[in-house]
A and B are shown apart, each in its own frame.
Chain A
Amino acid sequence: MDELQALAHGFAVALSFKNLALMLVGIVLGVIIGVLPGLGGANGVAILLPLTFSMAQSPGGTTSAIILLSCIYWGALFGGAITSILFNIPGEPWSVATTFDGYPLAQQGRAGNALTAAFTSSFVGALVAVIVITFLSPVVAKFALEFGPPEFFAVYLLTFCAFVGMSKEPPFKTLASMMLGFALAAVGTDPVTGALRLTFGTEKLLNGFDFLVAVIGLFGIGEILLTLEEGLEFKGARARINLRVVLDTWKELPRYWLTSLRASAVGCFMGIVPGGATPASFMSYGVARRFSPNGERFGTGQLEGVVAPETAAHAAGTSALLPMLTLGVPGSPTAAVLLGGLLIWGLQPGPLLFVEQKDFVWGLIASMYLGNIAGLVVVLTCVPAFAAILRIPFSVIAPVIVVICAIGSYTVHNSIFDVWMMVVFGVAGYAFKKLAYPLAPLVLAIVLGDRAEASFRQAMLVSQGDLTVFFENGLVGTMTGLALALLFWPLAAWALGRMRSR
């Protein structure tokens, strides 16, 4: 039981007064970010990342910094549910499925029950995922210590192919968005030879595009523009949660244990295989509707229909950190931003982290337990306060968010050119959303593009340009094969559908 001992040590790290305070600050900030339109987990963490630069330099500071940022993420995961249920506006993409049953419940005057169910099941999903991380990640990390360039490339390939195979958007749209991400990642210096590529002779593009700026623009500005189309007012149900409503809901929730078990499984799977929280919540909602005894009444305000997507979204969002920590491959855009943070603080994500930075890793894992408990308490007690944020008129909140985004992208490199890039990415994000192109593959491709290419070319250098190196041994062969299977899955599904309809 090495893990339990390490975890106990992690709790000792996380339980300092400073870290607990940061945890609380992170959760509250995260919920606010989750409630506000245009600010979400990914860009909220990206904007606040530069603030941790000085914090991370003190001894033990990186642990505090990651605790702050990851708690913002948990908070945002909780916060998305508030707007979905009360206002029928998903504050985050992963809470879209929560609106299906959450908003009808609120209209029936059962908003308190819906919110309690959402928060509680979020907590359950996160808890399952953290337990999975606690026991699975050391194993994966140990395993990954043996990885060479071909294995790492196979992991990247699996990540990218999983997006094409599992996203709910048409596969070619996913592919197009991902390839644009790769193209953006390729701008600047070639990682292997140092040759300049796609800079078109301007100095400003020498360093390439920073994905933090892209994330802030795509998700932040793009979202603001999209929200503007809906008009300037939010109308929503009132929320009142008192102890009686909470206890009543908790009495009802154990009935759905099977649903939450299934949802947790779906969520953990989708988080580790980089599907992310959004598809996980949809998939879990679909699964629950099919298997539940009163599945046909879903969409009319069933608590079960809130439990299923929320559990899965949290499980996926949390377990997305597992591949990020152990392999250095993030499972979601927000995990990608956290990964960027690790790199900036001078930590190398990947299997060695578990050997060299025990305090950091286990402190983080312990903080996941504590952060989610704190999150549950905070959201249950403060819902009215958070809902009040949405009553601030949009003409006040929109320019403030634009300013926050501008400051965030400026502080990444202290360059005004980045702020311009943010505006450009914002317009692009708006167009992408309008045309139903997924954004997550683009972001992950920008983050991982250079590293995937580097590992591919290193593998080629070793094998003298022989492609069979990717099928050389059982491990790498399985991963490559699985990746190719996922890549061609939409094609196979389409062909099967054709055959069946004949």
Chain B
Amino acid sequence: MRLGARWAEDGPQAGYFPFYIALLVCISAAVNFAMALTNRADAGRDFVEREKLRLVAAVLVPAAIYVGAIGWTGIYVASAVFIAFFMRWLGKYAWWKVAAVSVGTMVAFFLIFEMWFKVPLPKGPLEELLGLG
């Protein structure tokens, strides 16, 4: 309310729209909730089954760790490890295939982004070691 959610002399103040938007969100949420309660067709249907949720979490958790890792290892190393982890754990590929795909993809991305389009991406210790950072 500090922003002034009212209608001033010359039209709405800064907080006017956010306030009414929030109000509309609440109203439509309430209506949708009521509709979901009265709609019997969906009753007894789970949001996700346990097995499927496991699969979804299997991507989401590593993805979150991956994003956290970008900050200190740079995007290339983190991505390579992420792809390798995925292929090994979910795909059960042989190690040489895992290494070839993960490193190969990152080298290709490096060439495309840094060399061709000149877009710098976050780099970490490894790139500095190689003298690329």
A423 CB–B CB distance under 8 Å? yes
User: Which A95-132 residues have a C-beta within 8 angstroms of B?
Assistant: none
Q: How far, in angstroms, from A228 to B32 measured CA to CA in the complex? A: 27
**Which residues of A have CB within 8 Å of B15?**
197
| Contact, CB under 8 Å: A396 / B91 | yes
Q: Which residue of the partner chain, among B64, B75, B82, contacts A410 with CB atoms under 8 Å?
A: B75
CB distance from A413 to the nearest CB of B (A): 12
User: Which A162-215 residues have a C-beta within 8 angstroms of B?
Assistant: 170, 172-173, 175-176, 179-180, 182-183, 186, 190, 192-193, 195, 197-198
Q: How far, in angstroms, from A461 to B82 measured CA to CA in the complex? A: 53
CB distance from A333 to the nearest CB of B (A): 20
Q: Which residue of the partner chain, among B10, B22, B71, B101, contacts A416 with CB atoms under 8 Å?
A: B71
> Chain A at the B interface: mostly helix, strand, loop or mixed?
helix
| Contact, CB under 8 Å: A182 / B17 | yes
Q: Which residue of the partner chain, among A186, A416, A420, contacts B17 with CB atoms under 8 Å?
A: A186
**Which residues of A have CB within 8 Å of B29?**
176
| Contact, CB under 8 Å: A398 / B86 | yes
| Contact, CB under 8 Å: B35 / A172 | yes
A50 CB–B CB distance under 8 Å? yes
The verdict on A395 contacting B28 (CB below 8 Å), with A54-B117, A229-B48, A464-B10 known, is no
Interface segment, A138-146, A354-362, A400-408, A478-486?
A: A400-408
| Contact, CB under 8 Å: B9 / A465 | yes
**Which residues of B have CB within 8 Å of A423?**
60, 63-64, 67
**Which residues of A have CB within 8 Å of B7?**
465
**Which residues of A have CB within 8 Å of B10?**
460-461, 464-465
| Contact, CB under 8 Å: A403 / B48 | no
Q: How far, in angstroms, from A457 to B121 measured CA to CA in the complex? A: 40
CB distance from B59 to the nearest CB of A (A): 6
User: Which B69-126 residues have a C-beta within 8 angstroms of A?
Assistant: 70-71, 75, 79, 82-83, 85-87, 90-91, 93, 101, 105, 109, 113, 117-122
Instruction: Report, as a range, how many residues of chain B touch the other chain.
Output: 35 or more
| Contact, CB under 8 Å: B56 / A420 | no
| Contact, CB under 8 Å: B63 / A402 | yes
| Contact, CB under 8 Å: B55 / A229 | yes
| Contact, CB under 8 Å: B55 / A228 | yes
| Contact, CB under 8 Å: B91 / A395 | yes
User: Which B20-62 residues have a C-beta within 8 angstroms of A?
Assistant: 21-22, 24-25, 28-29, 31-32, 35, 47-48, 52, 55-56, 58-60
A306 CB–B CB distance under 8 Å? no
| Contact, CB under 8 Å: A410 / B121 | yes
| Contact, CB under 8 Å: A400 / B83 | yes
Q: Which residue of the partner chain, among A53, A170, A402, A403, contacts B35 with CB atoms under 8 Å?
A: A170
| Contact, CB under 8 Å: B91 / A406 | no
Q: How far, in angstroms, from A54 to B59 measured CA to CA in the complex? A: 34
| Contact, CB under 8 Å: A229 / B90 | no
CB distance from B109 to the nearest CB of A (A): 7
| Contact, CB under 8 Å: B119 / A179 | no
| Contact, CB under 8 Å: B25 / A179 | yes
A261 CB–B CB distance under 8 Å? no
The verdict on A399 contacting B35 (CB below 8 Å), with A183-B18, A183-B21, A225-B59 known, is no
Q: How far, in angstroms, from A407 to B75 measured CA to CA in the complex? A: 8
Q: 6 smallest A-B Cβ distances: which pairs? A: A460-B11, A395-B91, A176-B28, A399-B86, A395-B90, A195-B14
14 CB contacts below 8 A, A to B, read A51-B113, A55-B117, A179-B21, A190-B14, A225-B59, A229-B48, A229-B56, A398-B59, A403-B105, A406-B70, A407-B113, A416-B71, A457-B12, A465-B10
